[in-house]
A and B are shown apart, each in its own frame.
Chain A
């Protein structure tokens, strides 16, 4: 049985890694069709990507929206987690269920609903709409992770720090923030990546001028399916690897897997 388990595991690892390997391989292919292994290697798709300029505004929008929605979520989410963990008020369980529920709801439905409401109140700014929509999906990540981390935090440590002469804010900063730092980091990273990748909400909130990267990628794929997409996908894979390496150095992969 052990042998079967490890055989399946080895095959699953190959299966999971295969798409990423394929994307990187195709991006360095000289051929415009997706032949594998490529007949010869080249960097022409990267040059084309550089020249095209279609993608850069979308990359910029996506980075802006992802960074801002993550930052806002970290502030709102941490405050909410502290209230739930330390506060004594009714309905805290219900509050947590509600705050985390956007993760379990179909993104497309959340997007459609938000679009309809924004149209009804006459709000048409695409960039702001995207930000509003993306916070809905980044906020639950932060609340869930920071809450899990806070529930393990020993609050008497703050009293101890105060007894030893720290002011209350200083005690929070010196004792609580370092303990919560891994939770901030992991939830921030996953929130950021979720926003960068989001398509179902963004598709309803973009307009002709303001597009996020996933929307631009799918539009481009429909018009000209060539390995340029593989080149930009390779860029996204490299970005993810860098982010994960950073997280591993700071937090450790095992803690990331807990989430």
Chain B
């Protein structure tokens, strides 16, 4: 529809009527409403409503027991470590990617995008091989003299975090890259002209400007790490429980719906909180600019 059409038609529509284009959004919205939103609302309802009536049994069972807190702390601790390590090593890599040109940049992109596309199941399986006591990691540690005897990695939290960092790292690097490459180099030159030292330029110009990418990266990695399921299942085994594995167990093996749905709601709450907080932080960091 051309602007002319709009100008001619404008008086006829009162401005109150819904734009017919909105109808195009209807199929997707209706779909996600029925297959995504309604089930989540039903989950909330079933977590407090059983055939016997209103109850908070599931929540009581989860929170009253030290086991529930331990499970939650397991998930949080692994997610926090994973996110922190991803940030520390992902930040310089995001920079390197933005600075690199030509073949080097292509190689870096391949190294980031290929593992990202291969899928969690394959990579988690690979880490079960890498982390074995006679696995590659241990052979390297022994060969370089860092360790004098094989270190136990598989079925330890350190091993879990190493695997998770490996699998989620691209989600930290790519958002940082996409923001850093937009930073205007002249801003740094201007700061240098005004007498700022390299460290000062980095801390006062580069870091604030890269914050949107950092926030997005942290939000991605944390929300994936807190709810990871395949990785702990393969790298930690059955004895170690996180919220995800507990949900799966309560539904698939224990047939304990009230506990499962309660834990699912708690995990959902954490995910929503991450989205809301990161959105708020992102808006704030944009306003600072």
Which residues of A approach B to under 8 Å, CB–CB?
1, 4-6, 8-9, 12-13, 15-20, 22-23, 26, 34-36, 76-77, 79-80, 82-84, 86-89, 95, 98-99, 101-102, 104-110, 112-117, 120, 132-133, 135-136, 139, 143, 159, 162, 190, 193, 196-197, 199-200, 203-204, 214, 217-218, 221, 229-230, 233, 236-237, 240-241, 243-244, 253-254, 256-259
**Docked-complex contact B43 and A102, CB < 8 angstroms:** no
Instruction: List 27 A-B pairs, Cβ < 8 Å.
Output: A4-B92, A8-B89, A18-B166, A19-B130, A19-B166, A20-B122, A22-B129, A22-B130, A22-B136, A79-B27, A82-B21, A89-B22, A98-B37, A99-B32, A102-B32, A108-B264, A110-B40, A112-B251, A117-B42, A199-B230, A204-B251, A214-B119, A217-B125, A221-B234, A237-B118, A244-B113, A258-B178
Residue interface bits B111-150, CB-to-A below 8 A is 1, else 0: 1111101111111011101101011100100000000000
Q: Which residues of the other chain, B, contact A190 by a CB distance below 8 angstroms?
A: 117
A18 to B135, CA, bound (A): 12
**Minimal Cβ-Cβ distance residue in A for B178:** A258
A233 to B23, CA, bound (A): 43
A23 to B113, CA, bound (A): 17
The CB with the most chain B CB atoms within 10 A, among A16, A95, A114, A259, is that of A16
Contacting residues of chain B (58-115) with chain A, CB-CB under 8 angstroms? 89, 92-93, 95-97, 105-115
Q: Is the interface of B mostly helix, strand, loop or mixed?
A: helix
Interface residues on B, range: 35 or more
**Docked-complex contact B122 and A233, CB < 8 angstroms:** yes
Q: Which residues of the other chain, B, contact A237 by a CB distance below 8 angstroms?
A: 118, 122
The CB with the most chain B CB atoms within 10 A, among A9, A80, A109, is that of A109
**Docked-complex contact A117 and B38, CB < 8 angstroms:** yes
The CB with the most chain A CB atoms within 10 A, among B28, B177, B229, B260, is that of B28
**Docked-complex contact B264 and A79, CB < 8 angstroms:** no
Q: Which residues of the other chain, B, contact A135 by a CB distance below 8 angstroms?
A: 31, 35
A107 to B230, CA, bound (A): 11
**Minimal Cβ-Cβ distance residue in A for B137:** A18
The CB with the most chain A CB atoms within 10 A, among B117, B126, B233, is that of B117
**Docked-complex contact B166 and A116, CB < 8 angstroms:** no
**Minimal Cβ-Cβ distance residue in B for A229:** B125
**Docked-complex contact A80 and B39, CB < 8 angstroms:** no
Q: Which residues of the other chain, B, contact A88 by a CB distance below 8 angstroms?
A: 19, 21
**Docked-complex contact B275 and A80, CB < 8 angstroms:** no
Interface residue B24 (Cβ < 8 Å from any Cβ of A): yes
